[in-house]
A and B are shown apart, each in its own frame.
Chain A
Amino acid sequence: MDNLEPRFRRVARFVSPVDRGFAAIVYAGSILFALLIIGLFVELVLGSWPSIAAFKFSFIWKSEWDPVSNKFGALPMIYGTVVSSFIAIALASFVGIMAAVYLSDFAPRWLANPLSFLIELLAAVPSVVYGLWGLFVLAPFVRTGLGPVLQHVLGWTPLFAGPIYGVGLLTGGIILSLMIVPTVTAISRDILVAIPRDLREASMAVGTTKWEMAMRVVLPAARVGIFGACVLALGRALGETIAVTMVIGNRPQISASLFAPSYTLASVIANEFTEATTSLYISALIELGLILFFVSMIVNGVARLMIWSVRGSDRTA
């Protein structure tokens, strides 16, 4: 059983004029919404056309980013975006879902509200503040504290080998995870709280511990909605610009080490757009935005496929 009504049935009461007007307004709002996004896509394509015409597909698998000689390839940025977002969502979903479980089922009432409020406040911190805090506090911590520890324990893997600068892919991923944790926690908590009490009571009646109830009964019941929260949070991570660009090292290279400086699609756009003057340069940057649009589509598509395979016939997510 899941907490969501599987079919909010299109009950036959749309005959009255009020209802028809209501339906029309609802349709209008949704169409407007769709048009906005399609318009965005069209603008991106139009803006990146000169670059698409010049480079065609080599843009995606080439690694060189040289504005002076007008040679552009986006592969290192795609790599950096995907890896940093992956780190971010891995950290944030674990911490966020655990925190949401605690807040919904275990926290005493006097603690639950203030604590969840505090976590949501993380979303209110401006991007540039995260960037500066990351640069002045987190990066030195990674360079002198976390990095050496990880290298000591896991340095035999290529992931944690190499020089530690403080800024790099790992630091970028950590900052991103901080920024998306409130989304995961707040939405997950809302979903968990909305799960009917009878499910919980049935589980306890059978004799499970509270933890088992949360992990084996409540969480699976909420998993579709929580997955949706994670996808939303992942979207934020993919598109984050200012905070990431201050701690990721801004080096268009592909390196196995998580400590190495890297670059993301959104960071390049934020860094270079305001100073780009040739039309090829500008359209190459807009094409990066288009690639991000497609990356977002692919990630969401994969997520949906996973949801469909899990839920079987009931496909609404």
Chain B
Amino acid sequence: MASSSEGLASAQLALRYAGLRRRRVYAMLGTGLALFCALLAAAVLLAVLGYVVAQGIGSINWEFLTQLPHPIGVPGGGVGNGIAGSFIMIGIATAMAIPIGLLTGIYLALFGRGPIPEALRFLSDVLSGIPSIAIGLFAYAVLVAPLKHFSAFSASFAFMMLMLPLLVRTSEQAIRTVPQVVREGALALGMSNFRATVRIVIPTAMPAIMTALLLAIARVTGETAPLLFTAFGSQFWEFNPANPMAELSLQVFTYAISPYPTWQAQAWGGALLLISAVCILSVGARLMLRRSQGLQL
């Protein structure tokens, strides 16, 4: 309560000491600045996107999307196995990250005070600062070296760890913004805590959780470093997560730093695919959410 009454008090002070016209000018300048910032961020995205499109659009065709990669000198080829691999790996990672992240977020929201929850929040923030290559090494040490076998699953494990901090922090945040009255109402009606949380609180918090999920997926879609020692990559079709598998961003990376213009063009095409995939996912998820909840998002 303290900060907002301070805020109102300072607003009242502002009213007393500044003339209305001057305040209106400040307001206009401030709004202009905020608009400028929003447009700046969007403009940079358009610049980067434009660059990727200009470089990569020429590579996109049906063959590119469905074929295996060809070596240099053999025309054509594509990133079909990389697309499939990305879907599989990110899908498995999301499936693992959502329960752990959501459960931890629920724990922090429900049992929020005390040293243990504080320690968990702290650990989560620390995890978000670890470079992805270190996480890849951890996945290697735990899932690849003991089994002496590269696998897509170990890459999913690394991806999951990259997604968790965002999910944990935001799901806790989202659950706590649900007003107390909603939860208490559900409990007053006789629901168990479990039902109250799962059926009432979480759906109310869903839009924010969804945003976090999309951000987390976007984050790992472009990651390459953890894949070097886990999924390993492949030039062939592979659908078994226990085996090495191709991945789109890894292929993009390998092609982008190669000497050959044909491969570099394919790298840009792959990058364009990655961005489009996240774009489509974002739009799709929002449309679904809007339809299921009738909310303005």
Direct contact of A and B (CB under 8 A): yes
Stretch from B11-19, B57-65, B73-81, B230-238 contacting the other chain: B11-19
CB-contacts of B178-220 with A (<8 A): 178-180, 183-184, 187, 192-195, 197, 207-208, 211-212, 214-215, 218-219
Per a CB cutoff under 8 Å, which of A118, A126, A133, A232 touches B165? A232
The listed residue with most B CB atoms (<10 A of its CB), out of A11, A27, A118, A124, is A124
Write the nearest CB–CB distance from B120 to chain A, whole angstroms. Answer: 6
**Chain A residues whose CB sits within 8 angstroms of the CB of B279 once the complex forms:** 121, 124
Per a CB cutoff under 8 Å, which of A14, A119, A130 touches B42? A119
**Chain B residues whose CB sits within 8 angstroms of the CB of A4 once the complex forms:** 173, 176-177
Known: A40-B138, A128-B252. A213 touches B111 (CB 8 A): no
- Asked if A3 contacts B177 (CB within 8 A), the reply is yes
- Asked if B180 contacts A8 (CB within 8 A), the reply is yes
Per a CB cutoff under 8 Å, which of B38, B117, B118, B131 touches A292? B131
CB-contacts of A263-306 with B (<8 A): 265-266, 269-270, 273-274, 286, 289, 292-293, 295-297, 299-301, 303-304
Residue A61 at the chain B interface, CB threshold 8 Å:
no
- Asked if B165 contacts A124 (CB within 8 A), the reply is no
Per a CB cutoff under 8 Å, which of B123, B129, B169, B274 touches A234? B129
Known: A1-B1, A95-B41, A270-B133. A133 touches B100 (CB 8 A): no
- Asked if A2 contacts B3 (CB within 8 A), the reply is yes
Interface 1/0 per residue, B1-36 and A, CB below 8 Å: 111111110111011000000011011101101111
Residue A258 at the chain B interface, CB threshold 8 Å:
no
Known: A122-B41, A274-B228. A47 touches B137 (CB 8 A): yes
Known: A29-B100, A120-B218, A289-B131. A39 touches B138 (CB 8 A): yes
Closest to A199 in B: B4
CB-contacts of A99-121 with B (<8 A): 99, 101-103, 106-107, 109, 113, 115, 117-121
Residue B40 at the chain A interface, CB threshold 8 Å:
yes
- Asked if A242 contacts B224 (CB within 8 A), the reply is yes
Per a CB cutoff under 8 Å, which of A23, A36, A109, A266 touches B161? A36
Residue A26 at the chain B interface, CB threshold 8 Å:
yes
* Interface size grouping (class) on chain A: 35 or more
Write the nearest CB–CB distance from B287 to chain A, whole angstroms. Answer: 11
Main secondary structure of the interface of A (DSSP, over half): helix
- How many chain B residues touch A (CB < 8 A): the figure is 128
CB-contacts of A173-215 with B (<8 A): 178, 181-183, 185-187, 190-191, 194, 199, 202-203, 206-215
- Asked if A206 contacts B133 (CB within 8 A), the reply is no
Stretch from B87-95, B101-109, B147-155 contacting the other chain: B101-109
**Chain A residues whose CB sits within 8 angstroms of the CB of B12 once the complex forms:** 206
For the complex, give the distance between the alpha carbons of A28 and B279 in Å. 34
- Asked if B4 contacts A2 (CB within 8 A), the reply is yes
Write the nearest CB–CB distance from A300 to chain B, whole angstroms. Answer: 4
Per a CB cutoff under 8 Å, which of B121, B134, B274 touches A124? B274
Write the nearest CB–CB distance from A262 to chain B, whole angstroms. Answer: 16
Known: A121-B278, A124-B278. A221 touches B35 (CB 8 A): no
- Asked if A211 contacts B187 (CB within 8 A), the reply is no
- Asked if A5 contacts B131 (CB within 8 A), the reply is no
Residue B282 at the chain A interface, CB threshold 8 Å:
yes
Per a CB cutoff under 8 Å, which of A14, A121, A212, A240 touches B131? A240
Q: What is the interface of chain B, defined by CB distance below 8 A to chain A?
A: 1-8, 10-12, 14-15, 23-24, 26-28, 30-31, 33-42, 44-49, 51-52, 99-104, 106-113, 117-135, 137-138, 141-142, 161, 164-166, 168-170, 173-180, 183-184, 187, 192-195, 197, 207-208, 211-212, 214-215, 218-219, 221-225, 228, 249, 252-253, 256-257, 267, 271, 274-275, 278-279, 282-283, 286, 296-297
